[in-house]
Amino acid sequence: MSRLLISRSPDLKRLRDAGYEVEVRSSYLLVHAVPYLDAEGNLNLGTLASELTLASPTQTAAPGTHVAYFIGSYPHNADGSRITALEHGVGPYQWAEGLAPNFSFSNKPRSGGFADYFEKMTSYINVMWHQARARHPDCDPRTFKLVDSIETESVFEYEDTASSRAGIQLIAQQLRSQKIAIVGLGGTGAYILDLVAKTHVAEIHLFDGDKFRQHNAFRAPGAASRSDLERGLSKVEYLAERYAPLRRGIVGHDVYVTETNVAELAQFSFVFVCVDSGAARKTILEYLSSTDVPFIDVGMDIQVVEGSGQLWGTCRVTASTPGMRGHLAARVSMADREGDDLYRSNIQVAELNAMNAVLAVLRWKRFSGYYLDDSGDHDCTFTSSLNMMVNSETGR
């Protein structure tokens, strides 16, 4: 992927063809062997680095920022003074494994921004190289050495420039060893998939035996076409197909989870339980509680407020970890609902499905160390009428 990006992006290809040691790694642009001086006037070689803004998976756009980064000691002028025109910030900046720039540079062009990455990288290189040549006339960053890009294993079909632009690639990659299961792909489960699919987890397994019907289209992320509905796909087939252009590792299971196959859940790093059947929930939660698998159970309750013509709703997210299982009986109902269940018939609840999914994924990411967790809560309830969340069962 990185070689293709360099060959199809005129600015990156121009850098390489001019003789610079160009590499794309972990969605960052690197130019190696940049000559610079230390405080004693000794010649050193450093690496200039930049975020990458892409117009498409195989072509760059104009740089998103004029700021660049440097791997090495701080560059100096020929007289031994620091090059103050570059000063900006001091790292190390933990971008990705084996990639931690020591400094950030800021030298904005008069135009306000760089037209492309050739202009950006050579502008910064020339500032350092000019000073290095004053003492070492033969030094040159244009070595014409081809760099074998380190192609990191990725589940994505194209570069994750969202993480690299934010400088959180190393944090994002903390999730890459996980195998996630989502049981139930109604509105909430589908939104959980939408969020988890955009992380670096190795595999996402989908469990649901239902067909993708017309009413599902109104409480699932994205926009299903008429032809999608006419194909008669299962929920698993539809969603796996919808997210395949983004990433690999989505595995479909066109089945309900029952007593006969619930043991399959023992293989996962984390399980999201998004079922609306009390019996199914009971089977799944009782089994998972007997294992070391952490999981989250989600639930919703929506009612018409009598005489108001308005809805009242709650979203519940209950986490269960090996060290804390005892709260489930008090927080999660295992009974099936009876009578007129508005949630089953009313399709205008996409925002609460999305809210439930967001709360669940945030809790999982806190559990996984992606976000700081100062609460340790194992149960969270959002009430729509109060626009308020209440955390409980902290386990601390």
Band the pLDDT of 161: cuts 50, 70, 90: confident
Cα–Cα distances in Å, from 66 out to 20, 29, 52, 101? 20, 13, 11, 16
* pLDDT over 70 percentage in the chain: 94
CATH number at residue 359: 3.40.50.720
Q: What is the pLDDT of residue 60?
A: 93
Give pLDDT, residue 168.
81
Per-residue tokens: 55: 């117009």
Same domain, 184 and 164: no
**pLDDT at 151 (0 to 100):** 57
Where does 72-190 show beta strands of DSSP type E? 87-90, 103-105, 179-183
The residue among 287, 261, 268, 263 whose CA lies nearest residue 208 is: 261
What does pLDDT average to over the chain?
90
Residues 17 and 82 in one domain: yes
Same domain flag for 193 and 329: yes
Out of 134, 149, 169, a domain closes at 169
For 358, the domain range is 177-392
Does the structure show a pLDDT above 70 at 388? yes
Q: What is the tens place of the pLDDT at every residue in 197-235?
A: 999 999 999 999 999 999 889 889 999 999 999 999 999
Strand-strand pairing, 203-207 and 250-253: parallel
Q: Are residues 96 and 239 in the same domain?
A: no
In the prediction, which pLDDT does 130 show?
Answer: 97
Phi, psi of 327 (to 5 degrees): -80, -10
Same domain? For 261 and 122 the reply is: no
Predicted local confidence at residue 344, as pLDDT = 46
Residues 157 and 213 in one domain: no
Q: Which residue has the higher pLDDT, 333 or 390?
A: 390
Neighbours of 385 (CB within 10 A): 11
Same structural domain, 340 and 206: yes
Q: Which of 141, 169, 197 is the last residue of a domain?
A: 169
Rounded Cα distance between 9 and 241, Å, is: 30
Query: Which pLDDT value is given to residue 307?
Result: 82
Note the pLDDT of residue 393: 72
Same structural domain for residues 27 and 147?
yes
Of 74-83, 153-162, 369-378, the range with the highest mean pLDDT is 74-83
Q: What is the pLDDT of residues 360-384, one digit of tens each?
A: 999 999 999 999 999 899 999 999 9
Q: Let me know whether 288 and 374 are in one domain.
A: yes
Instruction: Please give the residue that has the higher pLDDT: either 163 or 114.
Output: 114
Structure tokens at 144: 């014409």
- Please check whether residues 324 and 222 belong to one and the same domain: yes
Coil, helix or strand at residue 166: helix
More confident residue, 109 or 335: 109
Based on the domain organization, do 149 and 218 belong to the same domain?
A: no
Q: What is the pTM of this model?
A: 0.75
Residues 325 and 380 in one domain: yes
d(CA 194, CA 37) in angstroms, rounded, equals: 49
